[in-house]
Each structure stands twice: as structure tokens, then as C-alpha cells.
């Protein structure tokens, strides 16, 4: 396939749905019901948009996972960003973060109405322009995201060093996908039989990054793109692996993802970053599931520069984003869903983000 409409072709999709149904029947005959977690928020969005969940047989369940970077960012991180803004720092951020609630439903957008300076950046490099244009102020870039966004953010440091800019730093809350798979798999309340692995993250870390996990847990990990035909292909690959008992890492997105991944990005990670025990909203601290700046780059680390520590926040008590992110409930099982909580008045991050599960269900699902 070469053009985008081929990845959305209804005849190919129908054929694959037929194959999935045949394989699901084989599993059903063995009284098997399969839970597949789509880890990535972009998969959740595409699955909802194309109605893929509704096309699947009853014994094949798609569970949405914690792969939306905004959604898993702890409320305490937002509180810290707001505290820095109130101290006079310019906060530079990707747009999705603006309405994510911290403690007491406070957001960066609300702090902006108090007079704080919050600037939306479409690229980390525009934060550098901001720093150069405001030499009398400190610029703090909200450095959140999974492996995909870490590389472009970290590459800022090369430019900042080269230009000898002193008034910019990063407030880091980087997250890594493979350690999260470990935590989700070991949760006794969840029964995950397979993972549909993220496309863009896998382009950075490569198919090899899942090998240790698959060997240890004997759970299929299939990498798929965000196009409907390839998502269906990925689901069918998972079912075939389970039926044949040939559990492995399978790359159904070979046109972009390689076995080794993006080695240039990995070199950047190794140069600037080291492991960190990251706090995930609703999940808690996962050992070595994040990355932070190495000590020798502490001049770019906002936590060091401003001597602040990100403390645990207090998200809204009624919001069940934690359970949604772990795949324990579907959004409509949250009592606030589509009533008190909706895209115009989001109470939790899963309703804010364009990749959030609650947002995807609200936008596309009629359940």
C-alpha cells in the first residue's frame, strides 16, 4: 500500500474483520475471551473514530491504556508549573496542557487569567525564541511526553548551549512505555492478554524494546500504525499468535518502525538523560519509568534551578481518570462522564486531551 486511502479502504477492512471473526470463533470454541490493551492514546482515538471496537466479536475486548502523555501527568506537576508561573516565570507548553487540572481543579488557563504568562508552543524550539525575546525573565518549558516527544525536546539543549542562552529550563516529567507495560501486566485486577503497541513510540525505541517483556510474560506485543486497516491487521496478528501459540514481538508497521528504532534519538537520550522513578497520574510511582536530566545538565533543570520538588497533587475526588488510564473502567462508568464532565468543562485530563480516552468516547461513542 502506498496512499493513505488504501489504509482506510473499506473492502480491505471488511476482509480483515472477517478474518478476526473467524479467529475469534476458534478462540470462542476454546472458551477464550481476549483482552487487548491499546497502549497509545492515538490508537484509542483512531479505534473510536473508525468504530473498530464495535466491529469486533464479543470475546475480543479492546481496553484503553495509559498512553496519553497529558493524561498521565500528575496533578502535582501542574501545581508546580502554576507555582512557577506565579513566581514570574514564563511557562511555555504544548497546548493540551493548558486545561489539564491540577489540585482543586486549578489549570494553567486559569492562572493565565490571574495574570501569569503561559505561552503555547507548537515546537520546543519556539520556547528558545521566547527566551531570547524575554532575557529579563525565566522561561520554563513543560517537558512532558513519551519517547516520541522526548527527543525533540532534549534536542533543544544543543541549541540553547550553542547560543549560550541562560534563561530557559525544562520541568521534566518524561515517561517510558515499556516499564508501564510491566506494571499493568502485574496488576491482579487487570487481565491483559496482549498489547497493541504504540506506533510513534516504537519508531523511537524499536521493536527490540519489547523483547524482554514478551519473553518474561509470554504476552504478544504487536506494533501497529494508527490507520484503521493496520489496526485491524494488528488485532488479527494478536489473535493468530494466541491460536498458534507463537507469542512474539510483531512489527506490523515496518514502513516506519525498525528493529533498532531511531538510534540518533536514543543517543540523545543517553547523552542528556538518566532513569527516574516517575509518578503517573492514577497509577502512582513506577520504578525507572521516566527520564530526568543528568546532573551535569542541571542548569537546564527547572527543579534544580528553582529548588523545587514536584509533590503529589490532589486531583478531583470524583474523577476516575486513574481507573480509566489503567483500563479498569470505561469512561461511561465514571458517574461524571458527559454530565458534570465534558469537553467544555473537563474535570479530569482524560477529557481534556485530544488523545484522552474520555474525550475519544465522548467525541465518537454513542454508548
Which residues of this protein are in contact with ligand SF4, per CB under 6 A? 319-321, 324, 331, 334, 336-337, 341, 347-348, 350-351, 358
> CB–CB of 93/108 below 8 Å?
yes
Q: Which is nearer to ligand SF4, 257 or 360 (CB)?
A: 360
30 CB-near residues (< 8 Å, 6+ apart): none
In angstroms, give the least distance from the CB of 96 to ligand SF4. Answer: 13
> CB–CB of 219/193 below 8 Å?
yes
Q: Nearest-CB residue to ligand SF4?
A: 348
Q: Which is nearer to ligand SF4, 67 or 348 (CB)?
A: 348
Q: Which is nearer to ligand SF4, 234 or 315 (CB)?
A: 315
Rounded to whole angstroms, how far apart are CA atoms 96 and 142?
11
CA distances from 39 to 47, 69, 116, 223 (A): 12, 11, 35, 10
Length of the chain, in residues:
367
In angstroms, give the least distance from the CB of 37 to ligand SF4. Answer: 17
Rounded to whole angstroms, how far apart are CA atoms 188 and 210?
21
Q: Which is nearer to ligand SF4, 199 or 347 (CB)?
A: 347
In angstroms, give the least distance from the CB of 187 to ligand SF4. Answer: 18
Q: Which is nearer to ligand SF4, 278 or 347 (CB)?
A: 347
**Which strand ranges, in their side-by-side order, compose the sheet holding 221-223?**
60-67, 34-40, 194-197, 221-223, 249-251
Q: Which is nearer to ligand SF4, 57 or 348 (CB)?
A: 348
Q: What are 10's three cell numbers?
A: 473499506
In angstroms, give the least distance from the CB of 123 to ligand SF4. Answer: 28
Nearest to 205 by CA among 174, 240, 238, 161: 174
In angstroms, give the least distance from the CB of 94 to ligand SF4. Answer: 19
In angstroms, give the least distance from the CB of 28 to ligand SF4. Answer: 31
Amino acid at each position: 500500500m502506498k496512499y493513505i486511502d488504501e489504509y482506510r479502504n473499506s473492502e480491505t477492512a471488511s476482509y480483515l474483520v472477517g478474518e478476526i471473526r473467524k479467529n475469534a470463533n476458534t478462540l470462542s470454541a476454546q472458551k477464550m475471551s481476549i483482552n487487548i490493551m491499546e497502549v497509545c492514546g492515538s490508537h484509542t482515538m483512531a479505534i473510536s473514530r473508525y468504530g473498530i471496537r464495535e466491529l469486533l466479536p464479543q470475546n475480543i475486548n479492546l481496553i484503553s491504556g495509559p498512553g496519553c502523555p497529558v493524561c498521565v501527568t500528575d496533578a502535582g506537576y501542574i501545581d508546580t508549573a502554576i507555582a512557577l508561573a506565579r513566581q514570574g516565570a514564563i511557562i511555555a507548553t504544548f497546548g493540551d496542557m493548558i486545561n489539564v487540572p491540577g489540585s482543586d481543579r486549578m489549570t494553567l488557563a486559569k492562572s493565565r487569567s490571574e495574570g501569569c504568562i503561559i505561552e503555547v508552543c507548537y515546537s520546543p524550539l519556539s520556547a528558545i525564541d521566547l527566551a531570547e525575546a524575554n532575557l529579563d525573565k525565566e522561561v520554563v518549558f513543560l517537558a512532558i511526553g513519551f519517547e516520541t516527544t522526548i527527543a525533540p525536546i532534549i534536542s533543544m539543549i544543543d541549541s540553547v548551549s550553542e547560543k549560550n542562552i541562560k534563561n530557559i529550563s525544562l520541568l521534566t516529567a518524561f515517561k517510558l512505555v515499556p516499564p508501564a507495560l510491566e506494571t499493568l501486566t502485574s496488576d491482579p485486577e487487570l487481565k491483559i492478554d496482549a498489547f497493541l503497541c504504540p506506533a510513534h513510540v516504537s519508531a523511537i525505541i524499536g521493536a527490540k524494546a519489547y523483547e524482554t517483556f514478551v519473553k518474561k510474560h509470554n504476552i504478544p506485543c504487536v506494533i501497529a500504525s494508527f490507520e484503521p486497516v493496520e489496526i485491524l491487521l494488528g488485532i488479527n496478528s494478536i489473535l493468530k499468535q494466541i491460536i498458534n501459540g507463537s507469542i512474539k514481538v510483531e512489527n506490523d508497521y515496518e514502513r516506519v518502525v525498525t528493529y533498532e528504532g531511531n538510534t540518533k534519538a536514543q543517543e540523545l537520550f543517553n547523552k542528556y538523560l538518566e532513569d527516574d522513578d516517575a509518578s503517573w497520574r492514577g497509577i502512582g510511582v513506577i520504578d525507572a519509568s521516566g527520564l530526568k536530566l543528568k546532573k551535569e545538565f542541571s542548569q537546564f533543570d527547572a527543579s534544580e534551578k528553582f529548588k523545587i520538588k514536584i509533590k503529589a497533587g490532589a486531583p478531583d475526588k470524583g474523577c476516575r481518570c486513574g481507573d480509566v488510564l489503567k483500563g479498569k473502567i470505561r469512561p461511561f462508568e465514571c458517574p461524571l462522564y458527559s454530565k458534570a464532565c465534558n469537553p467544555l468543562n473537563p474535570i479530569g485530563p482524560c477529557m481534556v486531551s485530544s488523545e484522552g480516552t474520555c474525550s475519544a468516547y465522548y467525541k465518537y461513542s454513542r454508548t
